[in-house]
Each structure stands twice: as C-alpha cells, then as structure tokens.
Structure 1
Amino acid sequence: MMHKFSSYIKAFFCLFCILLYQYNSAQEHPSLILTKKGVAEIRANLGKFPLFDESVSNAKAQVDAEILNGIEVPIPKDYSGGYTHERHKKNFMMMQKAGLLYQILNQDKYAEYVKNMLFQYEKMYPTLPLHPQTRSYARGKFFWQALNDANWLVYTSQAYDCIYDYLSPVERKRLETNLFCPLADFISLENPKFFNRIHNHSTWANVAVGMIGLAMNNNKLIDRALYGMKNDGIKPGEKDNDGGLLKKPGQKAGFFANIEEPFSPDGYFTEGPYYQRYAMYPYIVFAEALQNKKPKLKVFDYKNGVLLKSLNTLLNLTDSDGKFFPLNDGQKGMSYYSRELVFSLDAAYLFGGKDSGLLSIAQKQGEVTLDDAGFAVAKAIHEGLATPLEKISVEYSDGPKGDQGGVGILRSKGSKEDLTLVMKYTAQGSSHGHYDKLSFSFYEGGNEVLQDYGLSRFVNIQQKGGGNYLKENKTWAKQSIAHNTITQNETSHFSGDYETGDQFHSEKYVFDASNPKLQVVSAKETNAYPGTELQRVLALIKEGSFENPFLLDIIKIKSKTNNQYDLPYYYFGQIVSTNFKYMSPQTLSPLGTKNGYQHLWKEGEGSQVDDNIKISWFNKDRFYSMTSVISNNDKLIFARIGANDPDFNLRNDPAIIIRKQDTKDTYFVSAIEIHGNYDPVTEIGTNTYSTIKKLDIIYQDENYASVRIENKDGESSNFIFAFNDADKYSQHQIKINEKDYKWTGPFTIINN
C-alpha cells in the first residue's frame, strides 16, 4: 500500500515539474523575436560581425538621443504627418528599439526608458475618447485610425516582452489591466469592422492582439487573433468608407484566414506589392513569435509555406533598383529598403532555409534587425555566404487557389540595363484594386519607359489631405484611362464599380519565357465590358538588327456592338518626332467629363493616311520609338494629366492615345523600341532613329493573327499567334500570301 502511495507521490511530483516547466517556458522573456538563447549568443559575439554591430550602434544613437530629449506623449489630435501622429509613431518605434537594446547591451537605462513611457500611456489611455479626426471607418485612440493603434501595439508588445522581467509583478499587472488588455479589446471587440475581415488592416489588427497576447501569455487573446471573432455583427456585403466590402458570406476571419485568402499559392498578395510590403511586417513578426512560443502550430508551414514564399515573390516584383512595381494602389519609390522588408528578409533567411541570395539584398539594405534573425544574417554575410539574388521572368497566379488570373513579368538583357515588362491580369485586388485589366508597364533598369501611375496620395504629408488618399485616387488613379490598357466608350472597366469588379478576374492564356529571344505573355478579359472580349499579347523580341529587345503589343477586340476604343501609352520625356500631322489647340480643354477623362488635357490631335504611325521621344539621354498599325479614321491624341486639378494633386505626365471610333471587331498593334544615346557633354547623339521601317498585320482570322516587322535594312520577320489554343504541343498551319507556315505551340516568329 505504501509502495502504491509512493508511486502516486512520484507521479504527482513529475506532473507538477512538467507543468511548472511549461509555465516557466511560456513565461520566458524575451521570447517573441528575440530569445534568451539568441541574447546569449549576441552578447558573446558583439564586436565580431560589422553589419550587426553597426545596426546596434545606429539604434543606440537614435534611442540615446530620445532619452536625452525626454519622453513626449501628447494628446492625440492630428492626421498622419501631423505632430501628434508622428510623435506617437516615433514613440512605439523607439520603445521597440530600446527594449532590444536593453537585452543586447544589458543596460538598465533602456528598460527604464520603456517603462516610463509605458506608464505615461497607461495613465493617458483610460481617459482618451475616440480620436478627434472622424474620417476613418475605424477611428483609433492614439491615432486617427485604429490601424495605427494596431501598429503601436505590435511594436510595443515587443518592447514589453524585452523588459518583462525588469518590471515588478505589480507594474506588469497595472500595464496589462489598464493599457494592454483594454487596447487589445478596443482594436478587436469594439471594432469588428476593422478586426474581423480580410484586408491588410485586419492583419495588423489580428497581429496586434496576438503579439500582446503572446507577451502576456493570454491564450484568450491569442485565439482571438488566430481565428477571429465568431459573432461580430458585420452584415455580408457591408462597406467600409473606402468602398471595400467588409465581409463575404461564410468568410472566416483572423490571422490564418488573412493568410489563406489574400495570398495565391505563388505568394502573390492580391492587394499588390505596395501593400504586401506593408503587411509583411505583421505577417512575419507574428509568425516568428508563434514559431518561438508555439512551434506546434508550424505557422511557417501553413498553406505550403506561403509566407516565406511570398517574400521571394515580393522581391521579384521590383525593378532593377529594388522599387516595387506600382500595381493597384502603390506609391512609387517604395522599395525593399523599407523597414518592413529589412525585418521580413532577415526572418525569411533564418526560418526559410537560409537562402544565400537573400543575403545580397541584406547587404544592399545595409542594416539588420536587432534580434536572432538579424544576427544570423549579419553572421552569414561576415562569413562570405552571400550570393546574388537573380530576378527572373515569371508568372504569379492570383487568388487563394491560384485560379484568378495573375501577373506576368518578362525580363531581358539590354544594351545598357535589363528590360522588364510587367503585365497585370489579376482579380480586383480588394479595395486597393484599380480598373486596369490587361494593363502593363515597361522598364529599362530602374527607369519607367511606359508607366503605371500608381496611387494619388502624398503619404504622411499633412498639407495634402492629412497624408491620406486624395479624391483624385478614385476620380483618376483607379480609372481605366489612367493605365496602358483599353477603355471602351470612355467608361472604366466594370463601370468603375467595386462590387462588380470583385466578382471577376482576367484569364491567363500564355506565359512562356523559355526562349530568351522570344518571351510572350497573353491573357483574356471578357467581363470588363459585357459583350466585348479583349485579349492582349505582349512579346519581348530580341533580334540582331535591334540594339535592344523590342516590345510587340497586340490587342484583339471582339464585340457584339460598335464602340469607341481608346488605348493610351503613358511615357516620360519630350516628343522628338512624329510622321503624322496634328493640331495643337491654343486653349486647352479636358478630354472628357468623367471616368478619369476629366483629368486629361487634350494637347493635340491628328490622323494618318498611311497605315503606320511613328512617334519618338527622348528621356534621360535615351531615345524611344513607337510604331503602330492604324486605320484611316483612327484619331491620335496627345494628352497630359492635370485637368480639373485645382489643388495640383496630380503629376503632369504625358500620354499618346490611339482612338478607334464606331468600331466593332478590331486590333491594336504597336512596337516599342529603346535605342540610342545622347551625350550632353559631347553633344552627340547615336542611333537616334527607329530600326523598324514598317509594321503590318498580314493575316487575321478568328483563330490567328500574324504581324510582320520589317527593319530599315529590308529584313523582316513574322510573329504568328494562336488566340484559341494555348497548348504548347498543338500543331498549327496557316497560309499567308500563298506561303504555308507551320509551327508547334501558341506562337512563333519566322524570319523571312
């Protein structure tokens, strides 16, 4: 009997030890992005790895200056860009850095700085009403929108994790009871339209609640963050004030749902690269914290590892200078040098198999994060493990299952810099999407040859609408005419209606980059204009007589009715020459009255009796030429952005528009060349003329079209495309001018 009792005692003691260990492990701090093991390794190696040491030094200088300046926690008042907004934003960033420095340098002044600031917020928060600025659908307390309150909590939770053991149990209780838990509830329970949907805003909200839940070991908050709230009171189809749908019938919510829905299996984020960059920080920081504290969730394996995959996808959605392609709402100039990408790249290296190509980008970034991941990156770079990250021609699918169109990127070597073509044939892209089906942009190195406008917003510049989206984002930047694509009857795709556009996506047709001399991407759009079918073919063709690969652009239109079709090309620079006559009005007037046309000045109009037009322009010491096939009744319009813009919110960029009127079925065919150079010192221009002599559609029927490209030396080649059979093994045969052409696959180019 005593033996059995003794066994019970031992079993109970073992169970107690296990529970105690689990409790202590769960309570171990730091444990989110910086771990105790990581701290020990970092402290033992300070002074050995220059990139990490430099990052520590830079952070130390910033935080030390703030400590000397004194803590400022002003009463919230301003929009983004205003003093109170920027002060609170700086506070959460400095708290996070100070917390990390406390662990790395083991100096109490950094913990004391975080503690003192937190208690100022703890004192303020219970007395705060909603922010006085009322524009947001989800107003915050510290900031004009709850999104920024979520930003604050994501960063501050890391600082709290770092100084957790520095604080007394009583101090922790005060902060959690009076500040952290109420703020987490405010972000979620009190703002379900913000917290419980699929959007980058909601990702930040989910992660804010989850990160502070992990720091406090509060499983209730963690579960809410991961899986959302079951009863949120949101009606399916209800809109936010940006025109975005808040919830679809049967839609799940929470962090895992915000991984499942916006990302395609290829890692493309449906809102576009600008907002993927912004959202990558909460995605990766929470995933890293969950991996450290709840490894059984295997969050980095979720949806076949899409979070880590998406980082590589995002890096490839950049030009040669690392700037993100401005698809959908995207601010030009945003790049992988942003703090979000510094953090995400370091974490992706540590948790994603230590891809040496990421190290070369980290070297360009010139800094690392002050945590386990940043230390691993700095150590690997010091050991010479970095290799170049090659950007490739690639197609990325859109949609949760990868079946909602996509983005095609073609890259080719040029005489000076790489050429990059970006074609967009995605789903709508949430509330940040534009009405730009089958649009494209074209780059030489980091320079835009043919541009996508991006967004209409001066981020964090208070004088411009409080730093928020301007009305011109809806009246101009989102409209179809603002993009290099077809606009029918001066009406945007889906009539500019979000609910309609959100139901449809373009269809992938062909993507083939296997031959560096002939790369092709094509897609179809059948819903933008009911009764009209659009198909676009873009080919990068490298031929010996051309200085650079040239771009061949073919658009086939089939419609049930006669329409007006406008195809703009938005270029940069100055017109050098044209081969057609045009008239320039003495007084400018807008091109139209709505759907973006009201923002275009009509600077000239012409026509051409020949079947080709040629326009050349000059920009940044480089020459560009466009040759287009036209009909006698086509109009050629010179336009410039900026009409009906009394506050000068729009850039005054130029465009050439090819207009076909009263037309049912038709083609648009153009070729764009990059050539020559002008030296302003020697004042000598070289190769300043187009190489193309003539462009012809020499065959067309329901299934095929052939375009002949003749150069100035009399040499020619035929590009032939099959519009209704994309099978790469299909055999094709057509007769052109009594000559038989045979080939395999959806396209070919044949030299004559």
Structure 2
Amino acid sequence: MILTLHPFKGFLIVWLLLSLPFSSVSAAVTRHPYTHKNPFVQSADYEALVSARADKFRTIPAGYSKPVHAAGSSSADSVYTPVMNTQTANPRPHSFIGETELKTAKKRVANETWAKNYLKRLESESNSFLKLNQTIPKKAAGYASWYVCKDGTPLEYKNGRHYCPSDKQMYEGEKIEAGWLAYEHNERVRQIRILATAYSLNGNETYAEAAQNLLLQYADMYKDFPKQDKGGKWYYQSLDEAVSAVDLASGYDLLYSSPSFTEAEKKKIENDLFLPIAETLKQNPYSKSNWQAWHNAAIGMIGAATDRPELLKEAIYGKRGFYYLMDEAVLEDGFWWEGSMAYHTYALAPLSILAQTASHWGYDLYNDDKFKKMFDIPLLYSYPNFVQPANNDGGKYGSTITNYTSSRGYNDYELAYSKYKDSGYAWFLHTKYKNLSRTGDFALFFGSDSIEAAAEVPTKSLQLTSIGQAILRHPDSRERQSFVLMDYGEHGGSHGHYDKLNLDLYGAGTLLAPDFGTPGYTHPLYRGWYKQTISHNTVTVDGRSQSEAKGDMPIFSSEPNFKYMYGTANSAYSGVTYERSLWMEDEFILDWFLVSDESKSHQYDLALHGLGTYQTNVPLQPLDRPMGKGGGYDYFKNQKGAGGIESGWSSRWDQNGKGLRTYSIPFQPASVFSADGPGPSSSPNELTPVMIQRVNGHSAQFVTILQPYSNENAPAATGKRVGNHGVRADSSGGSYHFYQNYQQTEAGKLTAAKAHSKLGLDFNFDENTGTSLSAAGELKVILKNAEMLEKTTLVFNKGSIKSVSVNGKKWRTATSGGYIMAFQK
C-alpha cells in the first residue's frame, strides 16, 4: 500500500491519523512572558521558577552551564545558559537539514540504489505537481475532523462535492468546506516539501520556482486569515499551523540558494509569512502539551530558516521550550505524560525536529537523558510484532513501527541510531528492512552509512512506574512471546479513558484481547463507546464508567519463576475495593480480579473483548431485555446470556486456528453474557464479540485462565477453586497453585503465593502455612507438605520483616511496596 512504500504519499494519511485527536487539550493557556522588544526579558515570577527548577534537572547537557545571573538581576534568559560550540553563521541549508547532510545525501543518490530510487520517486511526484493547478485556496483551513459523515465515516471529495459513502448523501455547509480545506492546504504543504527536497538533490530550477510560487502566495494571503477559535489563523488549530510551518520553513531553507529566488521575495516570505506565523504560535502557549512541542519546533525552525537565532533559542530555553518539556512533560522512564504511544510518538517527532535543527547551530539536545529514553520506550513498549498498544487516546489501532516510513520521522530510528549508535536500534532497523527497502528523508539525510549487524536485544518484562503501566513478557525473545499489559496509572488528562486495570493481551503471534484505540474525535462512538469502561477489559460497576482515577501497583515481579503484577485502583468507584493480579506462566496467564464494598451491594461486570470467532460451552440464550443502558451498553448487539453459573466453564476466540482460550473458575454464582460491540477503532462500525461475567452482591472474585494457542488441537488449561483464597490451574506442564488474600493486613501474614507440582495434586496454602515473626524481624514459615511443591514464591505483608526462612531454610527475598517476596532456591 502507498503508506508503506512511499513516505510522501503516505504523509497526508499519517498526519491526519496523528493530528486528529487534539481538539480537547485541557492545559491552561497563559500569556507568553516574552516582550516584543526583547524575547528574553521575562517576568519576575519566571526567575523564581528558573531558580526552583535548576536543581531538578537530571544532567547538564554537554556544552551547557548552570544558570548565571547578574547580581541583582530579576530575570533570567533560560534554565541553562548555552555555551555555543560554533559562533559563525552556518552555510545553508542550516535548519532541519544541514549543509553536510545535504552533501551526504547527494553522494548517496549518486552511489546507492535505494537513494537513487527515492530521488526518482520525488522527481516523479514533483513532475506530477507541475501539471496541477498551482493556486492555493483563498480561505483558511478548518479542522480535518469536521470532514465526516454523521456516523463518523470520512467524506469523499467527488467532482467538487462532498459525498458520504455510508448514507450515499452529498454534504454541504461552511464547516464541511472548512474541513475539506484542511486537506487542501495539507496537500499544498506536501507539494512544497517534495518540490524543495527534489530541488535540493538535483538542482532542477523548475521545481524551485513552483515551490517558491506557492510560498509567495501564502505570504500574500496570511495577513488576511482571521484568528480562529483554537489559536490558528491559517488553520483552525495552532497545532496544525505549527505542523505545516515546520515543513514550509524546512522547504524554504532548501530553496534559499536558488538563483531564481530574489532577495525581495525572500524578505516578503520571511516578513509576511514566517514571522507572523511565529507570532501567532507565541501568542498561544500551552503547558506540557504536544501542541507546545510542535509550536517549539515551528518557532525554532523559523528562527533557523530566517537567520533569527533568538527564535531558536526561545524554542529551546524559553518558558515552554524544549527543556521545560523534558522536565515537565517527559516522565522519568521516558514516556510522554499523556499516557499513550500515539501521543508519545507525536510529541517525539517535533522534539527530534527541533533537536536536529538546533544541532546546526551548535546546540546538542540529544545529550539529554530523558530524550534518549523517549526513543527507547516505543521498542520496550510494543507488542512482540512491533504493533503499538493503543490505550487511552491511542491513535490508529494496529499501528506498527516497522511497516512504513514517515517524512516527519514518526517511529523512524535512522536519526536515533546515527546519534546514539544503540545496538537495539540497529537490530530494529535490520528487522524493519527485512520487509521494506531503505528509503525516506531520515535515512537519506540523517542515516548512518552502514547499520551494524546486531543480535536481538531481549525484550523483557517492564514496569513504567511514572506513567503507571506494566508489562509481563514470556519468554524474552519476541518470536514466541506472550505479552500482557495492565494500565493502572494516571488518567491521562483529556486523552485518558475510564479504564483502570485494563488488560491488554497478545500471544500466539497475534493480538488476542487488545485495547481497541480511538477513532476520530468527532466520531459518535469516541465518547459513547471507546472512552467508556465497558469497552475495555476491566470491571464496570453498576453499569457506569469509572471516575477519573489513578491507581497503584504495589507488587511487580519479573522473576523467572514469578512473573506477577498486582494493581489497585480504589478511587475508580467510591467505596469499592478494586484490585487485579496477573501471573504469567509458560502456557497461560492467570487473571484474578477482586471487587468489594462492605457497605453496599453492586452489579460487577468483567468484560473481555477478544478478536476472532467466539464460542463457549455455556448454553446462552437471547436476552429478553438488554444487559444495561447508558455507559456504552447501548451499543451491544446480539445479546445472549445465562444465569446461575457455579462450575468452571470455558470460551474461545479463534483466528483461523490460533487464538485465545479462557477457563473461568467461579468463586460465587455468576451470569455469563456474550454480545457484539464496536471493535478496533480502525473500523469502528464493525462489531466484535465480547464476553461479560456478572456478579451481584457486596463482592466478587473473577478468576480466569487466559491461554493463547497457536494449535487448536493443543490441550486446554482448566482449573478449580481450592479453599477460600486459592485456585489450581492444570495444563500440560503440570499443576500450578495460586493464592491471593490482600485483605489480610497483619505483618507476616501470607497475602499471595504461587507454586508448581505434578499434575492433579491439590495444595491449600491456608491449611498448610503457618508463620511467626520475631522481634528481630525474622519471619519463620512452616510450610507443610512442601516436598510436593517446586518453584514456590510466598508474598507477605512486610511490616518489620528483615528475613524469611521456610522450614528452617533461609529464602532469598525482595521487597515491593509494603510487601516482601520470598523465593525458593
């Protein structure tokens, strides 16, 4: 498909996918502190901010010093004072692409087949542009998400009219026209970018003149565009204006030395287009927002392209500049604060563009440790097949970092590898290029001459504590890896979903029960379904969605024989204890969800949205009345159910011979439902099967074996309840014994456990475990019948415990939160 093979033809699609969900940023907007006369004279309150923040920075980047303020000064230029490595003016180009990189690209075009082919594609597109009407639209752009049918289906432009393929109607109106103009202006920007890039490589003045003509038209018109509600003039959103300005400024820099470009024309473009755009963006500052990352990139690029280094410095060191975002918007583990990989990637792109532009002016932004981590995170976070989880407002469902090349560098590790020489990046690029030819701006201009051969870097279980998400993986190699993610952290601002303790599952080489992502923000299902709790693999209480909540993960273990996580989100529903545990074994994952409220009885619904054809051994019948109303329940179709289920039961989602089996172990009578609901957000109007377990009462425990399978004839795992707090799971690998009782709060008491035995043996931890805690902090454990167990792990409330001995032998321990884990040798 074009998106896979051609970065520029894919540009419009990629840009729309990643820029649609930005109309509801909740960051407070304040006036920019800079004055017009001196952009580095700042308000007095910023001096206090600078002083308070100076010591918070993790490292001082190479080439920078700590802030130095004149005696008695009440203002500061920046958090760091730059020590410029080069003071002389750089030869052009010197914005996004530098002189040295352009020379390198020309050599590659002359000597390397892939580079020659890339230039041929640029030339082919440029030649096509020359045949088109070169007049830009006279009106400003609206918001691309307005260009949709009533049901959210994208409109189609046919013979000057706007056609809806779902209802077969023609649409009209000012808002529809404005939405279409966003596409029109995006296309003109794309043309300028491609024409300028092709010209820089082959010197064809016809390309340069065509691009200059488009720039001059924009310079003529920009002053007449009115200010719009979301801060832009040329576009409805200042975000979209910044994104397009980045490409215009880079293109202008590549065209600057063209003999056909007069000084008067350059002056007009700079004074009537670029500087006014920079001012528009400066008048609309955002806090720790992806919008601000793009604003900074555009302001910095304009500064570099127009030889106004003060604008570049402002983009780096200003109150909302690069280092502010590194400090406030990038969390300690390197994840962008909004909590989805789509936003992480979307913010990383302008940060990279600014860093690369700044490198041509003597600044090294790559030296920031958090910035490096931002490149690491997508590789550490992705499913084993490199598709990115789509949690929260996660952008396009099913997006992978291996199957396309972006002109803006989304998920493109060519630049990152050339800067950091990370062997993990090298291995990823080799993996990517098994299926794709090397191509694109980032490879051509910034890529290394050669990519070192590198072995696969093991991708291990990971807890991202600052964003509040955790991933268990087994084994460490991606080829046969199972993956489960739990989201327990911050809500995510306006882009968060009501989905605490959501489970996201991959196995058998495919997505099994993933987060379905987010459609366009104007799609009616966006708020009605995709943000609601019931659309996620978690528990809905009383048929209504969670409150905005931040949970916790008291225990995370990636021990070889104890891959386990225990998450809580007790603020999701007032008065409700809300906790989930996941154990990962060779053949399955055990999922244990507990919800309880001592004061009230509730309806507890645990949903599991799987992919594939669904079947169950529960005799379900069509319902006389729907499962619920509101909160997303209205979107369910083909509802079936059965009540009073007290024994273990199984279900299965099949995807052509592989898929997901489940086995549910009731702790109380339950109702079981199946229905069809909206599925992956890439096709929001298509239905997929969901299974719901329902318990009414003060409390409920849902215990489910989740078993990925790649062979439908492989033995199915089953299980049974053992005592009040235990279960046994049986598979071809033997019997596994699990225990959970976090309501036990006394120090030294058993709260969780796991062990393995021969197939078919029962083990009751309550009956076989005794403990005594000495004043010196030694926990002595008597574990009866321990000889039948192996690979045992015991978890206790830590209290004052310093060591643990089991049946007279000291066990290795590790602490997590308020708990201590003891591991059998």
Structure 1 residue 658 and structure 2 residue 693: aligned?
yes
Deviations 1:337-391 (A, max 9, x none): 35144574222112223542243255245344436x644536214xxx2435546
Describe how 1:90-239 pairs up with structure 2 within 5 A: 90-130=187-227, 137-138=229-230, 140-166=232-258, 167-189=261-283, 192=284, 195-227=285-317
Describe how 1:331-346 pairs up with structure 2 within 5 A: 331-336=396-401, 337=404, 339=406, 340-341=408-409, 344-346=412-414
**Equivalent in 716, 723, 726 of residue 735 of structure 2:** 716
Deviation of the 1:138 alpha carbon: 0.4
Aligned to 2:10: none
Aligned to 1:541: 585
Which amino acid is the alignment partner of residue 696 of structure 1? R
Deviation of the 1:156 alpha carbon: 1.0
If each structure's helix is expressed as a fraction of its own residues, which one has the higher value? Answer: 1
Which amino acid is the alignment partner of residue 281 of structure 2? I
**Are the counterparts in 2 of residues 227 and 256 from structure 1 also a CA contact under 8 Å?**
yes
Q: Distance in 2 between matches of 1:274 and 1:533?
A: 31
**Equivalent in 591, 608, 626 of residue 553 of structure 1:** 591
Aligned to 1:465: none
Which amino acid is the alignment partner of residue 673 of structure 1? Q
| SS across alignment from 2:134 | coil
Q: Distance in 2 between matches of 1:551 and 1:378?
A: 42
| SS across alignment from 1:707 | strand
**Are the counterparts in 2 of residues 570 and 653 from structure 1 also a CA contact under 8 Å?**
yes
Larger CA deviation: 63-72 vs 219-228: 219-228
Cα 1:279–1:445 shift into 2, 3 Å: farther
| SS across alignment from 2:197 | helix
Aligned to 2:495: 432
**Are the counterparts in 2 of residues 590 and 599 from structure 1 also a CA contact under 8 Å?**
no
Structure 1 residue 482 and structure 2 residue 535: aligned?
yes
**Equivalent in 372, 389, 396 of residue 308 of structure 1:** 372
Describe how 1:719-734 pairs up with structure 2 within 5 A: 719-720=738-739, 723=742
What TM-score, normalized by structure 1, do the two folds share?
0.77
**Equivalent in 646, 651, 655 of residue 610 of structure 1:** 646
Cα 1:109–1:55 shift into 2, 3 Å: same
Describe how 1:20-39 pairs up with structure 2 within 5 A: 25-26=88-89, 28-39=91-102
Deviations 1:377-426 (A, max 9, x none): 36214xxx24355461232425xxx3x52332424379984322122122
**Are the counterparts in 2 of residues 440 and 484 from structure 1 also a CA contact under 8 Å?**
yes
Structure 1 residue 670 and structure 2 residue 737: aligned?
no
Deviation of the 1:291 alpha carbon: 2.0
Cα 1:559–1:573 shift into 2, 3 Å: same
Deviations 1:612-669 (A, max 9, x none): 22223322222532111214532112122159x9xx95431221111111223x4221
Cα 1:25–1:164 shift into 2, 3 Å: farther
Deviation of the 1:541 alpha carbon: 0.5
Cα 1:669–1:181 shift into 2, 3 Å: same
**Equivalent in 506, 528, 534 of residue 551 of structure 2:** 506
Larger CA deviation: 338-347 vs 31-40: 338-347
Q: Distance in 2 between matches of 1:445 and 1:114?
A: 50
| SS across alignment from 1:39 | helix
Cα 1:697–1:472 shift into 2, 3 Å: farther
Structure 1 residue 453 and structure 2 residue 516: aligned?
yes
Aligned to 1:366: 437
**Are the counterparts in 1 of residues 86 and 362 from structure 2 also a CA contact under 8 Å?**
no
Gapped regions of structure 2 (runs ≥ 5) = 1-83, 148-178, 754-763, 769-782, 787-805, 815-819
Which amino acid is the alignment partner of residue 719 of structure 1? F
Deviation of the 1:270 alpha carbon: 2.7
Q: Distance in 2 between matches of 1:470 and 1:266?
A: 33
Deviation of the 1:90 alpha carbon: 2.3
After superposing on structure 2, the runs of 4+ consecutive aligned residues of structure 1 that deviate more than 6 Å are 21-24, 413-416, 724-728, 730-734, 747-750
Aligned to 1:377: 447
**Equivalent in 472, 481, 485 of residue 525 of structure 2:** 472
Deviations 1:102-126 (A, max 9, x none): 3322333332222111011111212
Describe how 1:323-338 pairs up with structure 2 within 5 A: 323-330=387-394, 331-336=396-401, 337=404
| SS across alignment from 1:426 | coil
CA RMSD in angstroms comes to 3.5
Aligned to 2:365: 299
**Are the counterparts in 2 of residues 360 and 389 from structure 1 also a CA contact under 8 Å?**
no
Q: Distance in 2 between matches of 1:338 and 1:539?
A: 37
Aligned to 1:598: 634
**Are the counterparts in 2 of residues 551 and 672 from structure 1 also a CA contact under 8 Å?**
yes
Structure 1 residue 259 and structure 2 residue 348: aligned?
no
Q: Distance in 2 between matches of 1:100 and 1:416?
A: 39
**Are the counterparts in 2 of residues 359 and 387 from structure 1 also a CA contact under 8 Å?**
no
Gapped regions of structure 1 (runs ≥ 5) = 1-20, 132-136, 229-251, 458-467, 495-500, 543-548, 679-685, 701-705
**Are the counterparts in 2 of residues 396 and 407 from structure 1 also a CA contact under 8 Å?**
yes
Deviations 1:549-573 (A, max 9, x none): 2111012334343322111010122
Cα 1:29–1:341 shift into 2, 3 Å: closer
Which amino acid is the alignment partner of residue 651 of structure 2? I
Cα 1:735–1:45 shift into 2, 3 Å: closer
Q: Distance in 2 between matches of 1:259 and 1:448?
A: 33
Q: Distance in 1 between matches of 2:668 and 2:100?
A: 75
Cα 1:216–1:72 shift into 2, 3 Å: same
Aligned to 2:58: none
Structure 1 residue 525 and structure 2 residue 561: aligned?
no
Cα 1:415–1:673 shift into 2, 3 Å: farther
Q: Distance in 1 between matches of 2:746 and 2:251?
A: 54
Cα 1:443–1:130 shift into 2, 3 Å: same
**Are the counterparts in 2 of residues 572 and 653 from structure 1 also a CA contact under 8 Å?**
yes
Aligned to 1:690: 716
Deviations 1:451-506 (A, max 9, x none): 2121132xxxxxxxxxx432321221111111111222222221xxxxxx3xx522
Q: Distance in 1 between matches of 2:488 and 2:747?
A: 20
Cα 1:435–1:61 shift into 2, 3 Å: same
Q: Distance in 2 between matches of 1:22 and 1:447?
A: 49
Q: Distance in 1 between matches of 2:333 and 2:239?
A: 27
| SS across alignment from 2:367 | helix
| SS across alignment from 1:653 | strand
| SS across alignment from 1:259 | helix
Deviation of the 1:186 alpha carbon: 1.6
Which amino acid is the alignment partner of residue 652 of structure 1? L
Structure 1 residue 318 and structure 2 residue 389: aligned?
no
Deviation of the 1:227 alpha carbon: 5.0
Q: Distance in 1 between matches of 2:596 and 2:464?
A: 25
| SS across alignment from 2:690 | strand
**Equivalent in 68, 73, 77 of residue 131 of structure 2:** 68
Which amino acid is the alignment partner of residue 540 of structure 1? M
Which amino acid is the alignment partner of residue 407 of structure 1? A
| SS across alignment from 1:322 | coil
**Are the counterparts in 2 of residues 622 and 675 from structure 1 also a CA contact under 8 Å?**
yes
Cα 1:697–1:599 shift into 2, 3 Å: farther
**Are the counterparts in 1 of residues 491 and 498 from structure 2 also a CA contact under 8 Å?**
yes
Which amino acid is the alignment partner of residue 675 of structure 1? Y
Q: Distance in 2 between matches of 1:526 and 1:342?
A: 36
| SS across alignment from 2:354 | helix
Aligned to 2:657: 621
**Are the counterparts in 2 of residues 92 and 152 from structure 1 also a CA contact under 8 Å?**
yes
| SS across alignment from 1:669 | strand
